[in-house]
A and B are shown apart, each in its own frame.
Chain A
């Protein structure tokens, strides 16, 4: 492994840079982290994420400057194993799980991670979507047995109190992806939950969602997930998470979360409309999972992987640039259907690096 150093600036895109560093073994230096801010430097959740990464690895050295505006990461071995982590209440567990899901398959031992904190918020994917949408995306790459996210307790903002357990098996190598047919939507699933409020709210969201969705297909199952007492966390809140699955296994998702003074019906409609808008965008991969899928394609065996998706998000654009810095891999991004100028679909293809989980073979 080369130990060359890559330098970046700014607090943005911190998570995927840390992930790429851990996977590639390249050292990474990030400076100018909020230098002009009233409260300069790393935030508590970023420090917490660094701690968590330190825990799931072995031999990782993280140096943070006195002011907190610069950090140096010397990645160690991704070790996995049982880890318990308390997430700060400034971000939900989704913030921490998203990068963890990217590195966990390449650890030495099966990762058994317990995260405590907020389970659903506005900023990051909720645990429901991570469980029902993100994990199935890993299955495309040959990861399935023993992959699990258990929601033990829910925790709404601001006080949290939720708890989830993430189990991830290790792989030697990920499969090459060839996913170019988005298929047609065959079923819609959803999880609606309400904690520390009238449990009827959950059903009201489902009814509102059905009023829009029933016209399309009969295979709709929206589950009302009830958590009682201690399992429902410390704050009141409710949310509806929806996903649409196609005949070829493409999954699109959307969710909406309770806001003060907004009726549950409106939250239900909001989630449903957001889902329709995602379906309308098309592609084989949901927008929020572009980076995960692209990362796994880069790490795939030495063969050409292909995937059709919509336009990249800003996050994806930066991710593609950073992937080239870390792995030297660039993607070919061309219109999926050159004969149809109306189509916004793009075909992403790259030659896999043939990444082998060296950590596992050591065990």
Chain B
């Protein structure tokens, strides 16, 4: 649980505002706006396409996101495996 807590931003987000009244793309809403480099500011809703974007792999409209192998590695840790025991019926509430 400690690992998870540190990886998450503890800062509270105002989700309603982020979703409905901001110009950020969905990715920016989730991961925060990229700092710096954005000289040519956004024209309303559409962003100017950067050269680097064009060479990237196309983002597919997918039903599931790719599994993050790095994220899964932490599950090799015995302590973490034990830490979620509370989420199962056999675990006690303190888990």
Residues of A near any B CB (own CB < 8 A): 9, 11-15, 34, 36-37, 94-95, 98, 122-125, 184-186, 212, 215-218, 247, 254-256, 270, 273-274, 276-277, 279-280, 282, 288, 311-318, 320-321, 324, 330-335, 341-342, 344, 346
Given the known inter-chain contacts A321-B19, A324-B20, A334-B15, please indicate yes or no for A270 contacting B67, CB distance below 8 A.
yes
Complex Cα gap A316–B18 (Å):
13
A321/B20 in contact, CB under 8 A: yes
Complex Cα gap A178–B62 (Å):
28
A254: nearest residue on chain B (CB-CB)?
A: B67
* B50-65 interface code vs A (CB 8 A; 1 in, 0 out): 0000100011111111
B89/A184 in contact, CB under 8 A: yes
A341/B10 in contact, CB under 8 A: yes
| B10 cross-chain contacts in A, Cβ below 8 A | 341-342
A323 vs chain B, min Cβ distance (A)? 10
Residues of B near any A CB (own CB < 8 A): 4-5, 8, 10, 12, 15-16, 18-20, 25-27, 29-30, 46, 49, 54, 58-67, 69, 71-72, 75, 81, 84-85, 87-91
Complex Cα gap A330–B15 (Å):
12
A216/B61 in contact, CB under 8 A: no
A334 vs chain B, min Cβ distance (A)? 7
| A274 cross-chain contacts in B, Cβ below 8 A | 67, 72
B67/A256 in contact, CB under 8 A: yes
Complex Cα gap A94–B62 (Å):
9
Complex Cα gap A148–B85 (Å):
33
Contacting residue for B88 out of A13, A217, A331, CB 8 A: A217
B2 vs chain A, min Cβ distance (A)? 11
Contacting residue for B59 out of A12, A98, A218, CB 8 A: A12
Contacting residue for A12 out of B20, B61, B63, CB 8 A: B61
Given the known inter-chain contacts A184-B91, A276-B84, please indicate yes or no for A312 contacting B19, CB distance below 8 A.
yes
Complex Cα gap A288–B62 (Å):
10
Complex Cα gap A255–B63 (Å):
12
Given the known inter-chain contacts A315-B26, A342-B5, please indicate yes or no for A125 contacting B67, CB distance below 8 A.
no
| A125 cross-chain contacts in B, Cβ below 8 A | 63-64
Given contacts A313-B65, A335-B12, 12 further A-B contacts (CB under 8 A): A123-B60, A123-B62, A124-B62, A217-B88, A270-B67, A270-B72, A274-B67, A274-B72, A314-B25, A324-B20, A331-B19, A333-B16
| A12 cross-chain contacts in B, Cβ below 8 A | 59, 61
A42 vs chain B, min Cβ distance (A)? 12
Complex Cα gap A267–B29 (Å):
32
Given the known inter-chain contacts A185-B88, A333-B19, please indicate yes or no for A215 contacting B63, CB distance below 8 A.
no
B65/A13 in contact, CB under 8 A: no
| B58 cross-chain contacts in A, Cβ below 8 A | 34, 37
B16/A332 in contact, CB under 8 A: yes
Complex Cα gap A342–B7 (Å):
12
B26/A318 in contact, CB under 8 A: yes
| B64 cross-chain contacts in A, Cβ below 8 A | 123-125, 255, 288
Contacting residue for B63 out of A123, A212, A346, CB 8 A: A123
B92 vs chain A, min Cβ distance (A)? 11
